[in-house]
Amino acid sequence: MDLAALKRDLDGLKIEDNEKIVQQKSRDFYWYSPVLKRQLDHVSGDLVVTPKTQAEVIRVLAACHRLGVPVTPRGTGTGNYGQAMPLSGGVVLNLAELDEIVAISPGRVVCGPGAILADIDRATRAHSAQELRLHPSTYNTASIGGFIAGGSGGVGSINFGGLRDFGNIIRLRVVTMEAEPKVLELTGEDLHKVTHAYGTNGIITEVEMPLTAAYDWVDVLVGFDSFMGAARYGNALACQDGLLTKLITPIAAPVPQLYFKRHQKFLREGQSICAVMVAPHALDAFLAFTRREGGEIAYNAATARDEDKKGLPPAYELAWNHTTLRALRVDPSITYLQSLYPFPNQLALVEKMDAMFPGEVFSHLEFVRLDGNITCFGLNLVRFTTEERLDEIVRLFEENGCPIFNPHRYTLEEGGMKQTDAIQLAFKRQADPQGLLNPGKMIAWENPDYDYRSGKTFLFKGLAAR
């Protein structure tokens, strides 16, 4: 790679070549996985380029195409699977400064890919009491472009499903990597070529997302003597269409007692919990439902004293992958797995798998609406011993009918979220004919003999399958 020539071509743009800073900007939260930590610890780009406009993005891609320099796009690096790590070096394209919120109108917002999710909501709430439908637990630090390119769902998925579902993204503007980069406007089914594709087939430069009504959500922790009590309650609550919630998260003891340091004073020993975000107007009905279901209110932000609320993280920072992060801060031997408990047998599957690995796998569920049905994902904590044992646990989950979306793999296909097919590959050939965008992340591009037609369960199904 002729980096000197590239720097000359990009004169006037914001370029960083300090080795330590480049290495820091070449990393995401891959270290959640001891497997990826071993595999990716050495990975670093050669330069960080920070464009401020779409025109500068086009300039970077054209220059890198001409010189054969790989480009790996990056938001704020909050992903967990090595999505934003430059396996072949080259340019880390830092999109953080494309953060303008362009327009807000009823039901939609238009912004740059670098806009932070919490900042978008602050602007839409102030403008018209609206908020984004979905966000990950890294709400305060994650960018919208990174969420679309590397995420799948999160807080709000109990109502709206995930990014795979029609309507949860309105439009994307994407720049291709060619001698003369094209600017594409993607809507409808074409959006699924780019969602959860790690930037392998185009650089997102503008996003249009749907909005919903904003509420001052109330955080509540509901306690149960058993984990299955919490799981059954979570499932029943999710089915209450009249109760507006945004998060329903059952977590098995002793996880809350060991790792939720600031909430420990509210919890009894051995108590499993269900963390909930509920709309204020639904709170009284929610409390009545909870009493009927035998739940114990361990914490209610609406009635908590100011001194008790001081310093508490929001409920969504106990949920999704923040649960894993809180555990890792206390116990570095902890990692996690992502599983699906398919409808309609989700509770029976949860009970079976919860009993299978005592003291080794700790259950953590996230209730979601998936294809119109209420079911749950597992983001179960795992006490890591060896890679062989981790693979064995994965095998046992899958043999028992619980697909694993493996967070210990950095390719699209092996992670199990995104299915490559002929349509996806054709778009890759169109948008990135030299294969310079985030190389190494799409097996079907690197290996023409790869069987992408496998019968495996994928969250983001191939376009041909639709």
Structure tokens at 173: 């503007």
**Residues for the chain: how many in total?**
466
State residue 232's pLDDT score.
98
In a domain, 460, yes or no: no
State residue 454's pLDDT score.
63
Cα(295)–Cα(273) distance, rounded to whole angstroms?
9
State residue 447's pLDDT score.
85
Domain shared by 262 and 301, yes or no:
yes
Averages of pLDDT over each 10 residues, the chain, 466 residues: 96 97 96 96 98 98 98 95 95 98 98 98 98 98 97 97 96 97 97 94 97 98 98 98 98 98 96 98 98 98 96 97 97 97 98 98 98 97 98 97 95 79 88 96 86 69 66
∠ CA 234-163-157, nearest 5°, is 15
Bridge-based pairing of strands 91-94 and 71-74 is parallel
What residue ranges in 157-255 does DSSP mark as E strands?
171-175, 183-187, 203-213, 218-224, 245-251
Structure tokens at 183: 């600017």
In a domain, 453, yes or no: no
State residue 421's pLDDT score.
79
Cα(394)–Cα(64) distance, rounded to whole angstroms?
39
Contact in structure between 93 and 57 (CB atoms under 8 Å): yes
Question: What CATH number did the domain enclosing 180 receive?
Answer: 3.30.465.10
Q: Give me the helices (H) in 317-386, please.
A: 322-330, 346-354
φ/ψ bin of 82: left (φ > 0), alpha (ψ from -120 to 50), beta (otherwise): left
Last residue of a domain, one of 41, 66, 94: 94
Contacts (Cβ under 8 Å, ≥6 apart) of 310: none
Give me the residue label for tokens 């191939």.
462
Domain shared by 140 and 9, yes or no:
no
Domain shared by 226 and 374, yes or no:
yes
Domain shared by 195 and 251, yes or no:
no
Q: Work out the widest C-alpha separation in the chain, in whole angstroms.
A: 70
Q: Which amino acid, one-letter code, is at 157?
A: S
State residue 107's pLDDT score.
98
Domain shared by 266 and 362, yes or no:
yes
Domain shared by 198 and 247, yes or no:
no
State residue 444's pLDDT score.
87
In a domain, 258, yes or no: yes
Closest to 402 measured CA to CA, from 356, 338, 321, 461: 338
State residue 448's pLDDT score.
77
Q: How many domains does the chain have?
A: 3
Provide the domain limits for residue 69: 3-94
Last residue of a domain, one of 389, 405, 421: 405
In a domain, 440, yes or no: no
Report residue 65 CA to chain centroid gap.
Answer: 29
Domain shared by 165 and 292, yes or no:
no
Cα(381)–Cα(260) distance, rounded to whole angstroms?
14
Cα(376)–Cα(393) distance, rounded to whole angstroms?
19
Question: CB 244: neighbour CB atoms within 10 A?
Answer: 20
In a domain, 423, yes or no: no
62 burial (CB, 10 Å; 0-12 / 13-18 / 19+) is middle
Instruction: Provide the 3-class DSSP secondary structure of residue 54.
Output: helix
Domain shared by 87 and 60, yes or no:
yes
Domain shared by 399 and 290, yes or no:
yes
State residue 122's pLDDT score.
98
Contact in structure between 335 and 374 (CB atoms under 8 Å): no
Question: What CATH number did the domain enclosing 72 receive?
Answer: 3.30.43.10
HEC profile of 253-297: CCHHHHHCHHHHHHCCCCCEEEEEEECHHHHHHHHHHHHHCCCEE
Sign of CA dihedral 421, 189, 54, 17: negative
Phi, psi of 156 (to 5 degrees): 105, -15
Last residue of a domain, one of 164, 191, 214: 214
State residue 343's pLDDT score.
97
